[in-house]
A and B are shown apart, each in its own frame.
Chain A
Amino acid sequence: MTILGLKNGEAFIVRRVTISREIGKRLADMGFVRGAKGRIVRSAMLGDPIQVKICEYDVSIRRSEADGIEVEMVEEKK
């Protein structure tokens, strides 16, 4: 499952980044690495881009990139 499979507010753990080298590497540099915890915050008007909380900061990514981030959903204790 990728980030696109999650709804707003759902939490995840990154499994791996499957998109091409350059942007994939960029995402890895910015903290999208195996085991990193994150959460979907919201999406913009037409569902794109998506605001994701990763590590401890917020980042905006487009659906096309989000689709290249494989994650595992986790239940978050509220």
Chain B
Amino acid sequence: MNRVITIALAGNPNTGKTTIFNSMTGSHQKVGNYAGVTVEKREGRRKYKGYDFHIHDLPGVYSLTAYSMDEVVARDFIINEKPDVVIDVLDSTNIERNLYLCLQFQELNVPIVAALNLNDEAVSRGIQIDEKRLSEILRMPVIKTIGKNGAGVEALLDKAVEVFERKEKPDYEVSYGHELEGDIQVVIASLEKDGAFCARYPVRWCAVKLIEKDARAEELLESHAFADGVKAALKERVRRIEEHFGRDASTVVSEQRYGYIHGATAEAVTRRPVDKQTVTEKIDRVLMDRVLGFPLFLLILWLVFQTTFTLGAYPMGWIEMFFGGLSSVATAFIPEGILRSLVVDGVIAGVGGVSSFIPLIVLLFMFISILEDSGYMSRAAFIMDKFLHIFGLHGQSFLPMIVGVGCSVPAVMAARTLKNARDRIITVMVTPFMSCGAKLPVYVLLAGAFFPRYAGTVVLSMYVVGTLLALFSSLLFRKTVLRGESTPFVMELPPYRLPTVKGILWHVREKTFGYLKKAGLVLLPASMLIWAVTSFPKPALDVPKDVQMAQSYAGKIGKEMAPVLAPIGFDWKIGIAAITGFAAKEMVVSTMGVLYRVEAGPDRKSDSLREALRRDPAFSPLVAYVLMLFMLIVVPCFASLSVIYAEIGWRWLLFAVTYWTALAWLLCFIVFQTGRLLGF
């Protein structure tokens, strides 16, 4: 039996915790160059030198006075689960602010191993850290690491073992200066009257946190046997501190902590001035320019889409050809009958139709992940903040919204970095308007079929309309159900970093497999189901094909919905296709593939679904556009709904679902009826 060591990877945001986690455990968790990539705890395992490491990757925090939801997760893990060793990942280029958190870990009396990560960047900026000296001063092991290439990661594990096996408890000594020490001692003395309390919580940490007016420490105090006595002593001391320093006691504690850090680093850190401009500064001169910044941001987004479509067109053509060929082969080899119909009209028409769009989705994800890794995301948030603010959104909401262009699921979770519940709920409710990658196939199919000359513009218009809806919905919520000022916006702007090819490839690979899995597990059986409900009950042989289908189960269900669908211009087939989008957005395409199953023949062209749609009298450019709008606005897929439920609870989910549905129907109604009046 190996011995188990529980490790927490903790530290400030964006210091490389997940990078180190991936390197330790061989996993591929999301890494990105902005604060707040990791929003929930992740566990990974590693066997090393006869030990079983249980490694937990935590969201980044600036202080143990937690602020937003993701930060609470990290703090509570350290305090409640008491990991055997905390590996504190520090950003070496910004050692002071990073040690600020480290000192708070020391006060908790957890054994620490400090990783001086991003060492390569520190070196290039002329920052030299004497890790031996630092280790002596701070009484903890300090290891230089470069998360990106794994340098120093094994050494971290070695040190963790050493610290774990050491019998005596760590004896850290965080000094707040003699002016504050007396007050801390008085509060400690009053806390120590309850032995049980002191056994449970590190008493010095409690005392300091109470002087810092930390809400969580005040909560803990409620379980203290002599809480009133402690409170009285505390009040007295806080009054004295504030009188003496002339400032809020909580700021005094921060100042003293930084003071201690300056003392420690003065000895161990030397800075060789590098007076040339850093690369980041040079890039920012252009990208963050007051005037150019915004147009450049739009240009970047436009380039992303443009490249996605241009590059994606090639593999899309190949996949279409492949399935076209497959369908001919199947027709040639399977005798006429139910089986052939199932394979050709159900499986190939459904899954084949949607598979050709995989390259688009994958490319879109690739570009988003390049943006995330480069460090541009927080710049974009900086540029857009004022604008978003006007609509009652938070600058921080911008990151989830961009992530939402890829997929709503991670986007909704990314909203956790918003501190205020109102901001978070609003962000979660408007993120689905950002047209996730799965809606792209629907747009591309319809735009390609009905607006062949302006397909690109029409697809782009969906993104524009979506963004406008997100902004105005947020303003509406802010003015009605979720009133209140939006909260302050303080966000770190990390240096630009070159996205790693390895990281991007992993991401792309993961997405591709994800979609193949979805195609196999969801779209394949669903296509077969759609095939079944449109093929049965078995029609009489002498009726024409389109009438046959109208008499099937699907046709009957569709007709029941006619009163709702007719006003927005949908016939029963379009209605059924739109509804299947609840399972997954791409399913609209595969369902249409099945519904518009075309006679497969040797002369069958690869763009037959497009042609079939064009041939259907129920469709027109107007109907196609309305359908795109409907898909944009209506309730997101099941997977998103379940995370949205987890993030905002069922009341808000119910509200959101009603809002999305009503808005979708109303807008489609207006557009369709006006369009018809205008003669489209």
Mark A residues whose CB is within 8 Å of B: 16-17, 21-31, 33-36, 41-46, 48-49, 51, 55-62, 64-65
Q: Say yes or no: B488 contacts A45, CB within 8 Å.
A: no
* B385 close to chain A: CB less than 8 A: yes
Inter-subunit contact A45/B213 (CB<8 Å)? no
Which of B62, B212, B290, B382 is A30 in contact with, Cβ under 8 Å? B62
Give B76-104 interface residues, CB cut-off 8 Å to A: 93-94, 96-97, 100
CA distance A49 to B382 in the complex (A): 7
Contacting residues, chain B, for A31 (C-beta < 8 A) = 96-97, 100, 258
Given contacts A25-B250, A42-B284, A49-B489, 5 further A-B contacts (CB under 8 A): A25-B65, A33-B255, A51-B288, A60-B491, A61-B490
- Partner among B251, B383, B389, B489 whose Cβ is within 8 Å of the Cβ of A61: B489
* Chain B proximity of A34: nearest CB distance (Å): 5
Q: A-facing mask of B546-570, CB < 8 A → 1, else 0?
A: 0000000000000000000000000
Q: Mark B143-162, 1 if CB is under 8 A from A, else 0.
A: 00000000000000000000
> Are A57 and B492 closer than 8 Å at their CB atoms?
yes
By the criterion CB–CB under 8 Å, are B492 and A44 in contact?
Answer: no
CB–CB B488/A64 < 8 A: yes
Which one of B67, B94, B250, B488 lies within 8 Å of A21 (CB-CB)? Answer: B250
Q: Is the CB of B490 within 8 A of A27?
A: yes
CA distance A58 to B483 in the complex (A): 31
**A34/B96 contact (C-beta < 8 A), A26-B67, A45-B291, A45-B294 known:** no
Cβ B254 vs Cβ A33 within 8 A: yes
User: Which of B62, B213, B293, B490 sits near A44, CB closer than 8 Å?
Assistant: B293
The minimal Cβ–Cβ distance linking B36 to chain A, given in whole angstroms, is 13
Instruction: Give 18 pairs: A residue, B residue, CB < 8 Å, sorted on A.
Output: A16-B251, A25-B251, A26-B62, A28-B255, A29-B63, A30-B492, A41-B284, A42-B284, A44-B290, A44-B382, A44-B386, A46-B386, A48-B386, A49-B385, A57-B93, A57-B97, A57-B493, A60-B493
- Min Cβ gap A58→B in Å is 4
CB pair B248 A43 closer than 8 Å: no
Q: How far is the CA of A56 from the CA of B494 in the complex (A)?
A: 11
- Given known A23-B488, A56-B96, A58-B492, contact A28–B395 (CB-CB < 8 A): no
With A51-B493, A58-B493, A60-B489 as given contacts, are A25 and B290 in contact (CB-CB < 8 Å)?
no
Select which of B247, B254, B389 is within 8 A of A29 by beta carbon: B254
Task: Decide yes or no whether B580 CB sits under 8 A from chain A.
Answer: no
B378 in contact (CB, < 8 A): yes
Closest chain A residue, CB of each to CB of B280: A58
* B-side contacts of A16, CB under 8 Å: 247, 251
In the bound complex, CA of A31 to CA of B33 (Å)? 21
Contact with A along B36-71 (1 / 0, CB 8 A): 000000000000000000000000001101010000
Question: Which residue, A29, A41, A62, has most C-beta atoms of chain B within 10 A?
Answer: A29
Q: Which residues of B contact A60 (CB under 8 A)?
A: 378, 381-382, 385, 395, 489-493
Known contacts: A36-B258, A51-B382, A55-B94. The answer to whether A45 contacts B293 by CB under 8 A is yes
User: Which residues on B sit within 8 Å (CB–CB) of A36?
Assistant: 258
Query: What is the CA–CA distance of A58 and B383 in the complex, to the nearest angstrom?
Result: 15
A34 contact set on B, CB distance < 8 A: 247, 255
- Which residues on the B side are within 8 Å of A30 (C-beta)? 62, 97, 490, 492
Of A26, A35, A43, chain B has the most CB atoms within 10 Å of the CB of A26
B290 touching A59, Cβ below 8 Å: no
Closest A residue, CB atoms, query B291: A45
Q: Are B248 and A24 in contact (CB under 8 A)?
A: yes
Contact B254 A44 (CB under 8 A): no
Rounded to whole angstroms, the CA-CA distance of A35 and B386 in the bound complex is: 30
For B96, list chain A residues within 8 Å (CB): 31, 55-56
The answer to whether B94 and A29 have CB atoms under 8 Å apart is no
In chain B, positions 463-501 with a C-beta closer than 8 Å to chain A are 487-494
Distance between B298 CB and nearest chain A CB, rounded to angstroms: 13
Query: Which residues 239-295 of B sit at the A interface, judged by CB distance below 8 A?
Result: 247-248, 250-251, 254-255, 258, 284, 288, 290-291, 293-294
Instruction: Please name the residue on chain A nearest to B91 by beta carbon.
Output: A57
Q: Determine if B489 and A62 form an interchain contact, defined as CB atoms under 8 angstroms apart.
A: yes
- Chain A residues near B94 (CB, 8 Å)? 55-57
In the complex, residue of chain B having the shortest beta-carbon distance to the beta carbon of A61: B490
Shortest CB–CB separation between residue A73 and chain B, in angstroms? Answer: 20
Give CA–CA (A57, B118) in the complex, Å: 14
Cβ of A48 to closest chain B Cβ, rounded Å: 5
Contact B248 A21 (CB under 8 A): yes
Q: Report chain A residues within 8 Å CB of B213.
A: 21, 25
> Chain A residues with Cβ under 8 A from B383's Cβ?
44-45
**Which residues of chain B in 394-422 are interfacial with respect to chain A, using CB atoms and an 8 Å cutoff?**
395
Give bound CA distance, A65 to B389, whole Å. Answer: 14
B492 lies within 8 A of A59 (CB): yes
- Known: A55-B97, A62-B489. Is A48-B385 also a contact (CB below 8 A)? yes
Judge whether B288 and A42 touch: CB under 8 Å. yes
User: With A and B bound together, what is the CA distance between A35 and B324 in angstroms?
Assistant: 71
Residues A65 and B290 in contact, CB atoms below 8 Å apart: no
Please name the residue on chain B nearest to A48 by beta carbon: B386
Residues of chain B in range 342-394 having any CB-CB distance to chain A below 8 Å: 378, 381-383, 385-386, 389
Known: A44-B290, A45-B290, A45-B294. A33 touches B385 (CB 8 A): no
7 closest Cβ contacts across the A-B interface? A28-B254, A29-B63, A58-B493, A33-B255, A23-B488, A60-B491, A57-B94
Q: Which residues of B contact A58 (CB under 8 A)?
A: 492-494
